[in-house]
């Protein structure tokens, strides 16, 4: 059975400093060269280039801008799919775009669906409309961004994905919720769930303490990064145990049918 090796990059993001963040990520990834050399997928946090700076025009990147170029360069360097969220120009607003870049030059994306009203994200960002599933090394992956984690209907597994990945700027003040919801999504959807969060303070003084982690299809914690420090967490997911578990306990066969508008 196939396996998927994923690196989750727990990053300390410098506020509104793309070039500095790119340089720091280069150093952080280079320090893990042995581990990353066998990875299929490398994941960076939400708004990895600038921080969650919604109202700042300088945080906005043109479609195909320097943040995407950075991701494409890393995909070539590591010969892996490299993915991370970027604020990109979308009409008069922005999109919170989770780019996925393949070494062969293929680029796909998921735009964040659920916008954080408390942070007035909707004043600056257009909500995505499409639910995407990408395939890497035989694993079907549902990409999600931060606040999406609170909305289980949108994430409901219709037996169409094996792994859910959420990238975030999730604050330390709500860390227990992050941990609990990641585990819950794994249990209810009978899938692997990977959460990739940042550390450090943002430009508003909001603290982030990490919580980057991997859960299996029973909700068991497979691995986690240390709190309050930059780290690269590498996990290997096996398809066989997942399929065997779902065959032995096929809860998806009893799920309600529905459609999303």
Q: Which DSSP helix (H) or strand (E) runs through 248? A: helix 239-248
51 Cβ contact partners less than 8 Å away, ≥ 6 residues apart = 13, 14, 15, 16, 59, 169, 202, 203
Catalytic residue among 146, 191, 196, 246: 146
Tell me how far apart the alpha carbons of residues 257 and 261 are, in angstroms, rounded to a whole number: 14
Catalytic residue among 46, 94, 101, 121: 46
Residue 229 falls in which region: left (phi positive, over 0), alpha (psi -120 to 50) or beta: beta
| Coil, helix or strand at residue 146 | helix
Q: Exposed e or buried b for every residue in 124-150, given b needs 16+ CB within 10 A?
A: bbbebeebbebebbebebbbbbbbbbe
Catalytic residue among 39, 60, 94, 112: 112
Q: Indicate if 130 belongs to the active site.
A: no
3-state helix, strand, coil in the chain (%, to 5): 30, 30, 40
Residues annotated as part of the active site = 46, 112, 146
């Amino acid at each position: 059975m196939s396996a998927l090796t994923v690196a989750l990059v727990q990053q300390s993001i410098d506020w509104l400093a793309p070039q500095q963040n790119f340089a720091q990520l280069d150093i952080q990834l280079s320090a893990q060269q042995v581990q990353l050399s066998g990875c299929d997928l490398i994941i960076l946090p939400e708004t990895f280039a600038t921080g969650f700076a919604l109202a700042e025009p300088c945080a906005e990147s043109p479609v195909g801008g320097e943040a995407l170029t950075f991701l494409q360069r890393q995909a070539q360097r590591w010969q892996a799919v490299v993915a991370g969220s970027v604020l990109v120009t979308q009409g008069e607003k922005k999109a919170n775009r989770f780019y996925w870049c393949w070494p062969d030059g293929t680029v796909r994306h998921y735009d964040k669906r659920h916008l954080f009203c408390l942070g007035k994200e909707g004043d600056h960002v257009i909500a995505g409309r499409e639910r995407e599933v990408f395939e890497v090394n035989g694993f079907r992956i549902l990409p999600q961004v931060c606040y999406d984690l609170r909305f289980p209907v949108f994430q409901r597994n219709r037996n169409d994905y094996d792994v859910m990945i959420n990238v975030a700027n999730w604050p330390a003040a709500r860390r227990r919720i992050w941990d609990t919801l990641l585990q819950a999504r794994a249990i209810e959807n009978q899938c692997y769930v990977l959460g990739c969060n940042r550390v450090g303070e943002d430009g508003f003084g909001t603290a982030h303490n990490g919580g980057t982690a991997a859960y299996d299809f029973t909700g068991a914690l497979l691995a986690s990064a240390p709190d309050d420090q930059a780290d690269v967490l590498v996990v290997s997911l096996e398809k066989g145990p997942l399929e065997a578990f779902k065959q032995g306990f096929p809860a998806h066969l009893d799920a309600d049918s529905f459609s999303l508008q």
